[in-house]
């Protein structure tokens, strides 16, 4: 069978040759019972003028001294094989470039949008794809449950978040980038792997996410160990003030010895509760298996009990002398810290590109 031929410009002087097998499943494409292609290739007839106006990469490719440009100048047409590019994503971008807006889908699956983003970066099509990228991202917010609401990214799947990070980075979507990077800081249970060569995310972004995750966990664990040290290292400093918040109130602890026993009860209860939650003894960097979100959820369940709680529960309005509450309050502040600033990394990339040109 002859290869499928897609005509984007009937007078087109460039013929792209791509594999007819997409990297996407039928489900990811939103298709069912789709017949398999009869040919291993798909042909796309396109206009060199449109390509060169839209993409500096295509402009360089189609002008001398590159072989494609020499062939185009000599014969008036050129065939170019692109075996690495996904045919479905490439079709979308060819429709964008050739102003065939009605053929550009308004809703893409997350994986398809990620692959489109990679091609946009590869061929530097951000400018011409800007309007459609805003639509794709906005429409995605309406059809998926793992999008963000300006403060919370619901899905904590690392692969999903990494796809979103790629999309946000390629299209320089400031708010999305900040929220996704924050979600990755909160959700990652392990250091992020090295960025694959084919994924256009700077390694410095992954490194910054890892550094912020470890810094946040380090401060959380320091807060916990600080309370343990407070009760353990200076036992002569009595912390218990009784079953209520003021020392002058009626208390179950009328003697210094009893108040010290209350401190001992708090210390033992705190250590036991933290041990059950796997946050005591203090985990070691890089905190493998611990996520900021997971640690915070466990801290929220800490059950710290004082002697005051045991002897006079009816008077105790500050369970465990608020130790668990104080820890949780500090940890919540750490948890809600913002994500990364895309401008910092965009500036670094621009400076590196400038140095490369020089």
pLDDT tens column, 250-294: 444 467 788 888 899 999 999 999 999 999 999 999 999 999 999
Considering only CA atoms, which of 279, 275, 274 is closest in space to residue 292?
Answer: 279
Average pLDDT for the chain: 87
Whether 131 is in a domain gets the answer: no
What are the helix and strand counts (H, E) for the chain? 15, 4
pTM: predicted TM-score of the whole model, two decimal places: 0.86
pLDDT tens for residues 8-66? 999 999 999 999 988 887 666 655 445 555 678 999 999 999 999 999 999 999 997 88
Q: For residue 144, is pLDDT > 90?
A: no
**What would the mean pLDDT of 332-336 be, rounded to a whole number?**
90
Residue 19, beta-bridge partner list: 41
What is residue 73's predicted lDDT score, i.e. its pLDDT? 95
Range of the domain at 92: 1-27+35-105
How sure is the predictor about 119, in pLDDT bands with cuts at 50, 70 and 90? very high
Whether 57 is in a domain gets the answer: yes
Whether 319 is in a domain gets the answer: yes
Considering only CA atoms, which of 180, 177, 167 is closest in space to residue 112?
Answer: 167
What is residue 72's predicted lDDT score, i.e. its pLDDT? 97
Residue 167 makes CB contacts below 8 A (sequence gap 6+) with 113, 114, 117, 137, 173, 176
Q: Please state, in angstroms and rounded to a whole number, the distance separating the CA atoms of residues 241 and 228.
A: 18
Q: Could you tell me which residue, 42 or 322, shows the higher pLDDT?
A: 42
Specify the number of domains making up the chain: 2
Q: Please state, in angstroms and rounded to a whole number, the distance separating the CA atoms of residues 237 and 226.
A: 15
Whether 135 is in a domain gets the answer: no
Asked if 5 and 64 count as a contact pair (C-beta separation under 8 A), the reply is: no
Pairing, β 41-46 against β 14-19? antiparallel
What is residue 332's predicted lDDT score, i.e. its pLDDT? 92
What is residue 313's predicted lDDT score, i.e. its pLDDT? 76
Axis-axis angle for helices 256-276, 323-335 (nearest 10)? 40
Q: For residue 117, is pLDDT > 50?
A: yes
Q: Please state, in angstroms and rounded to a whole number, the distance separating the CA atoms of residues 291 and 282.
A: 14
Q: For residue 233, is pLDDT > 90?
A: no
**Percent of all residues in the chain with a pLDDT value above 70, rounded to a whole number:** 84
Considering only CA atoms, which of 72, 179, 55, 70 is closest in space to residue 122?
Answer: 55
**What would the mean pLDDT of 154-180 be, rounded to a whole number?**
88
What is residue 152's predicted lDDT score, i.e. its pLDDT? 46
Whether 352 is in a domain gets the answer: no
What is residue 157's predicted lDDT score, i.e. its pLDDT? 83
What is residue 250's predicted lDDT score, i.e. its pLDDT? 41
Whether 168 is in a domain gets the answer: no
pLDDT tens for residues 186-231? 999 999 999 999 999 999 999 999 999 999 999 999 999 999 998 8
Q: Please state, in angstroms and rounded to a whole number, the distance separating the CA atoms of residues 203 and 124.
A: 19
CA distances in angstroms from 356 to 23, 121, 201, 207, 353, listed in the order given:
32, 17, 18, 22, 5
**Percent of all residues in the chain with a pLDDT value above 90, rounded to a whole number:** 64
**What would the mean pLDDT of 115-127 be, rounded to a whole number?**
98
Q: For residue 143, is pLDDT > 80?
A: no
Provide, for the chain, the percentages of residues in helix, strand and coil under a 3-state DSSP scheme, each rounded to the nearest 5. 55, 5, 40
How many Cα atoms within 13 Å fall on the side-chain side of residue 71? 13
User: Tell me, what CATH number does 2's domain have?
Assistant: 3.30.710
**What would the mean pLDDT of 159-173 be, rounded to a whole number?**
94
Is the C-alpha dihedral spanning 189, 195, 199, 203 positive or negative?
Answer: positive
Count of all residues that appear for the chain in the document: 358
Q: For residue 142, is pLDDT > 70?
A: no
**Cα 16 off chain centre by:** 34
Taking the chain, what is the end-to-end CA distance rounded to the nearest angstrom?
49
Whether 326 is in a domain gets the answer: yes
How sure is the predictor about 155, in pLDDT bands with cuts at 50, 70 and 90? low
SS3 per residue for 28-84: HHCCCCCCCCCCCEEEEEECHHHHHHHCHHHHHHCCCCCHHHHHHHHHCCEEEECCC
Domain closes at, from 57, 76, 105: 105
Domain closes at, from 88, 105, 122: 105
Provide the 8-state DSSP code for 248: T
Axis-axis angle for helices 203-232, 323-335 (nearest 10)? 170
Whether 284 is in a domain gets the answer: yes
What is residue 26's predicted lDDT score, i.e. its pLDDT? 65
pLDDT tens for residues 100-114? 999 999 999 999 999
């Amino acid at each position: 069978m002859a290869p499928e031929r897609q005509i984007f410009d009937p007078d087109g002087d460039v013929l792209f040759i791509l594999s007819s097998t997409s990297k996407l499943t039928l489900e990811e494409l939103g298709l069912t019972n789709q017949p398999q292609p009869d040919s291993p290739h798909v042909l796309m007839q396109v206009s060199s003028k449109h390509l060169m106006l839209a993409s500096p990469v295509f402009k360089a490719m189609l002008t001398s001294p590159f072989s494609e440009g020499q062939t185009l100048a000599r014969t008036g047409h050129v065939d170019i094989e692109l075996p690495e590019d996904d045919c479905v994503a490439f079709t979308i971008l060819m429709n964008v470039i050739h102003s065939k807006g009605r053929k550009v889908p308004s809703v893409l699956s997350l994986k398809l949008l990620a692959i489109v983003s990679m091609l946009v970066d590869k061929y530097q099509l951000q400018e011409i794809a800007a309007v459609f990228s805003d639509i794709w991202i906005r429409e995605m917010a309406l059809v998926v449950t793992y999008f963000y609401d300006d403060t919370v990214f619901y899905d904590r799947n690392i692969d999903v978040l990494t796809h979103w990070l790629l999309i946000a980075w390629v299209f320089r979507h400031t708010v999305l980038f900040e929220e996704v990077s924050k979600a990755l800081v909160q959700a990652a249970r392990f250091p992020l792997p090295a960025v694959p060569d084919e994924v256009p995310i700077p390694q410095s972004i992954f490194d910054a996410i890892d550094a912020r995750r470890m810094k946040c966990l380090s401060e959380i664990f320091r807060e916990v160990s600080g309370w343990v040290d407070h009760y353990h290292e200076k036992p002569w400093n009595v912390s218990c003030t009784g079953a209520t918040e003021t020392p002058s109130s009626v208390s179950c602890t009328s003697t210094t010895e009893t108040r010290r026993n209350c401190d001992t009860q708090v210390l033992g209860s705190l250590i036991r509760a933290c041990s059950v939650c796997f946050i005591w003894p203090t985990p070691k960097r890089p905190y493998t298996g611990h996520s900021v979100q997971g640690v915070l959820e466990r801290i929220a369940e800490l059950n710290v009990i004082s002697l005051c709680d045991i002897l006079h529960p009816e008077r105790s309005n500050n369970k465990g002398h608020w130790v668990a509450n104080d820890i949780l309050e500090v940890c919540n502040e750490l948890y809600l810290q913002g994500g990364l600033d895309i401008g910092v990394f965009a500036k670094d990339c621009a400076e590196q590109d400038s140095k490369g040109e020089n």
